[in-house]
A and B are shown apart, each in its own frame.
Chain A
Amino acid sequence: MEGRVNAVNTNDFEKTLRQLSPLDDQAVEEIAEIAPALDDAAKDRIEALCEKKMRLETMNTANQIHAEGVTNITRTQWYRPVMTTAACLLLAAGIGGAILLGNHRPAVTPPVSTDVPATTEATTENTSTEPLPNDLSMEDLRSMMDQNVRCVDYFLLLNGVSYNSEDLGDDTHETETDAFASYAEMKEYVYSVFCDDFAEELLNGNGGVHYLEVDGKFCVKPRTVLDGVSFSEDWYSYEITNPASVDENTVTFDVTVNRTYDDGEKIPATYVCKAIRESDGWRLEKLYGYDEPQINGLYLEDLRNLMYRNLDCLEAFVTTPLFHKGEDLGVGIYEVDSDQFVSYDALESYVYSTYCDEFANELLTSYPCGYALYSEYDGKFCIQPASVFDYSYPEEDWKNFEITNPAAMGDYMIVFDVTGLRSVATGEECGCTCKAIRESDGWRLEKMYGYTKPESSTSDLNGFAEEGILHELVENSMQIHGNYTLKSEPLSGTTLHEIDLSNNFDLSLKFWDAASFRELVESTFTPEVAQWVLNDCIFKIVDDKLYIDEAKVAYEQGALVDWTRFDIEVQSVEKIGNEQVCTFRAVATDDSNFQFPDTTLEDRTEYFTATSSDEHGWLLSIKPEHLVK
């Protein structure tokens, strides 16, 4: 049993907590009741998913072909597809290079055809000044692009390929298509259209629908790959222009298709295509189609990713510092406990790949944004939380942000707007203008966005975070003031009674014994007031036990008002030396179930003063009226 003495060590305990699930059915039911995870927005999402799946099923059912007892699902229409960010990136990185003429915005209207087009309405116009090689005519280029159109259908839209509903594992289904008799035939076809490197990439499923052979069967993983793309392209009518020989083995030409955006606006998109001579003929360099517009060589998706990284940093440094293990290492810092960033190096590298060096350095070495400072201490990844006072910023909800109006400012800068943010405090929509800068090894944000650095001398105290803190202080204070059922027998020779926890241990009780009471008091009041609350108020600690002095209890006071719901109204904030002094009042709200009808506003109002210092944050600094007996 040696060693079991330390059995409940911090690491094991954390590990156990992290492996809390799977729990038994009863526990899971209780969890769902105690801590429901889904808000209305999540329920809306689930409802929308259900409706979509049912719609899709209905349509598939309508298109079912029955053969020998198995159900074939044929995607006769292209639904707005679902693409992961990764797939999108692959597409962006691997396929095409569109230049959208006249307007930068993403694109869609679904092509509805199910059949591979036998012919297209392609038109060609040779405006080249360089003659094409002898073995490549405009007709050849058109023929190559016709094959490109087929591959857009097969690999991007999953059109014209039906498949068996039976899952052979890992969402792999046998194809039921006349287009190709076997996987080998498709492979041969792809190699005959594209250069070898790209053909191999495409057949491996990178950037497109993955076709494969399983046990000799021609199979497909029927994922769709264009989610997030907000446009459609009409590849049944394209135009080839500007063919030009770059050298004897390379020809470039522009292919223009009509793009239709969600709102119906049509804008032509031009792809700069390349045909390359291989040993046995001409091939396309890659698949062209559904490529997002670029600004200064950067895709919108890359800008979005930069902003997601900004959001991660905003959370880690400002709004939601990484969890720590709670044990002060003795110098005011704590070991980080995070799956998101497992080491200081990981965090540092993330920051440097998100922001320009100058800002990254500032973020990592000082408190430019007010909350957390990370470091490596004694080989451990540590956090040094700043005082709560520092983080007075307007918090914003970044769930649905959008990037709009991206514009190149020279070759090394892109300016864009981020819209769709909501102020958490006021609910008002807000946004910001951001800058991305091209550095030697990629694009970075100029600085952190979504955060307003607090003015150190300001007397304004309207920020959400501070109000939340004041709210909690009042809540703590009111708990101490609350009425409790006492055990009937007092401590011998005194008027001190223990609290009858069996009658009082309700869900919102913030303290339950002497230690938790002391902790609550010390984190609520300044040391002087805390001393008074601990020694002279209605509570008394004797021999590490918590008692209520019945002689000091005035049950009637405050009993008329329910203090579980109240608003904070800040009246003034003054800066005195290094401290701020905030005078505010708490007003119990009208919707209480327990208020007596004849209470006045004054009955429902308590006045407070709180002091804030860098060292301690906000603490109540005068004796609250309701505790003065």
Chain B
Amino acid sequence: MTDAQWYELMQTDPKKGRRALIDQYSNLVYAIVLNKLKNCASREDIEDCVSDVFVEIFRNTEKYTPQSGTLKGYLSTIAKRTAVDAWRKLTYRQNATSYLEEDEGLILIADDDPEETVSGKMQKQRLWDVIKGLGEPDTSIIIRQYFYEQTAKEIGKALSMTADAVQKRSVRARARMKKILEADYGRKGECCEY
């Protein structure tokens, strides 16, 4: 469904339009929200925040037109903002020294050395590249295990595998990743402390 088609659907049948948007973008919104809230929110909190994002969009349908940019971009922006608000709310009670750098979507520790943070970003990027390079289903297993924090059973269900197979593949995939990262370190000899 294109942005224009969705826009039109919202004019003619808002309920269907709302469901269509959830079908198409809820996984993206969920990932964005989870990325921000993972360390401080339960799954229910995250789903609640995801629904807040969609409610915000549905409430302000008139503010969006296909001419004003991509729906995906619009949605992503609102998702990030909403997640930041939720993060603030959820961590209000904690005596947190951290803050959110909204534009970059990074949680920075206040007393972090900026160079360390850049190095951390590079490491994460490299790690992400290695995960992508594992190939399926291992990439999905690692993402689901470590990003979504799903259990082997949940992963198995999502990927039509047994939990045992998931377990085995996860172990092998991690071993491969470790090997690759060790090789990285061997080559560069610096800044690859995983």
Q: Which residues of A are in contact with B by a Cβ distance under 8 Å? A: 1, 4, 7-8, 10, 12-13, 16-18, 20-25, 27-39, 42-43, 45-47, 49-51, 53-54, 57, 167, 169-171, 315, 319-321, 323-324, 326, 388, 465, 468-469, 472, 505, 507-509, 512, 519, 523
Contact = CB atoms under 8 A, between A and B. Distances in A.
A47 B165 CA distance: 33
Contact of A22 (B36, B143, B167, B168): B36
A296 to B, nearest CB: 31
Given A8-B181, A37-B144, 8 more contacts: A13-B178, A13-B194, A31-B31, A34-B140, A35-B148, A42-B26, A171-B89, A507-B136
B135 A20 contact: no
Nearest to A316: B151
A50 B185 contact: no
Contacts of B143: 31, 34-35
Given A34-B139, A512-B135, A49 B174 contact: no
B153 A50 contact: no
A50 B58 contact: yes
A214 to B, nearest CB: 13
Contacts of B164: 388, 465, 469
A362 to B, nearest CB: 23
Contacts of B147: 20-21, 23, 31, 35
B15 to A, nearest CB: 8
A507 B134 CA distance: 9
Interface in B62-106: 76, 89, 92-93, 104-106
B22 A49 contact: no
Interface residues of B, number: 78
Contact of B194 (A12, A170, A326): A12
Contacts of A12: 193-194
A319 B153 contact: yes
A392 B69 CA distance: 54
B6 interface: no
B191 to A, nearest CB: 10
A61 to B, nearest CB: 11
B127 interface: yes
Given A1-B189, A47-B18, A17 B58 contact: no
13 contacts: A12-B193, A13-B178, A23-B147, A27-B128, A28-B35, A37-B144, A42-B26, A43-B22, A45-B47, A326-B174, A388-B164, A468-B162, A508-B136
B23 A43 contact: yes
Which one of A388, A465, A472 has the greatest number of beta carbons of chain B within 10 Å?
Answer: A472
A589 to B, nearest CB: 13
A18 B146 CA distance: 6
B55 A507 contact: no
Contacts of B167: 321, 323-324
Interface of B: 18-19, 22-23, 26-28, 30-32, 34-36, 38-39, 47-48, 50-52, 54-55, 58-59, 76, 89, 92-93, 104-107, 121, 123-125, 127-128, 132, 135-137, 139-140, 142-148, 150-153, 158, 161-165, 167-168, 170-172, 174-175, 177-178, 181-182, 185, 189-190, 192-194
Contacts of B194: 7-8, 12-13, 16
Nearest to A171: B89
Given A4-B193, A21-B34, A315-B151, A35 B174 contact: no
A319 B23 contact: no
Contact of A46 (B22, B28, B107): B22
Contacts of A512: 135
Contacts of A170: 89, 92-93
Contacts of A16: 123, 127, 194
B35 A23 contact: yes
Contacts of B189: 1, 4
A519 B172 contact: yes
Given A13-B178, A32-B27, A35-B140, A320 B163 contact: yes
- Majority DSSP secondary structure for residues of A touching B: helix
Contacts of B192: 7-8
Contacts of A31: 31, 143, 147
A320 B31 contact: no
B144 A505 contact: no
A46 B54 contact: yes
B108 to A, nearest CB: 10
Best-surrounded residue of A16, A22, A53, A468 (most CB of chain B within 10 A): A22
Nearest to B54: A50
Given A28-B35, A170-B92, A507 B135 contact: yes
A187 B170 CA distance: 56
B124 A20 contact: yes
Contacts of B104: 24
A161 to B, nearest CB: 21
Nearest to A511: B135
A42 B47 contact: yes
A46 B105 contact: no
A594 B152 CA distance: 32
A37 B31 contact: yes
A25 B101 CA distance: 13
Nearest to B151: A320
A28 B136 contact: no
Contacts of A18: 146
Given A37-B30, A46-B22, A505-B135, A326 B175 contact: yes
Nearest to B137: A508
B165 A25 contact: no
A321 B151 CA distance: 9
Contact of A4 (B27, B30, B185): B185
Contacts of B52: 53
A23 B128 contact: yes
Contacts of A7: 185, 192-194
A26 B81 CA distance: 17
A39 B158 CA distance: 8
A61 B46 CA distance: 26
B193 A29 contact: no
Nearest to A617: B164
B77 to A, nearest CB: 10
A315 B156 CA distance: 13
Contacts of B30: 32, 37-38
Contacts of A47: 18-19, 22
B181 A13 contact: yes
Contacts of A38: 26-27, 30
Nearest to A30: B132
B182 to A, nearest CB: 5
A77 B174 CA distance: 53
A258 to B, nearest CB: 33
Nearest to B131: A20
A16 B174 CA distance: 12
A320 B18 CA distance: 36
Nearest to B175: A326
Given A37-B27, A326-B171, A23 B153 contact: no
Contacts of B181: 8, 13
Considering residues A27, A30, A35, A171, which has the most beta carbons from chain B within 10 angstroms of its beta carbon?
A: A35
A167 B185 CA distance: 49
Contacts of A39: 158
Nearest to A19: B124
A545 to B, nearest CB: 17
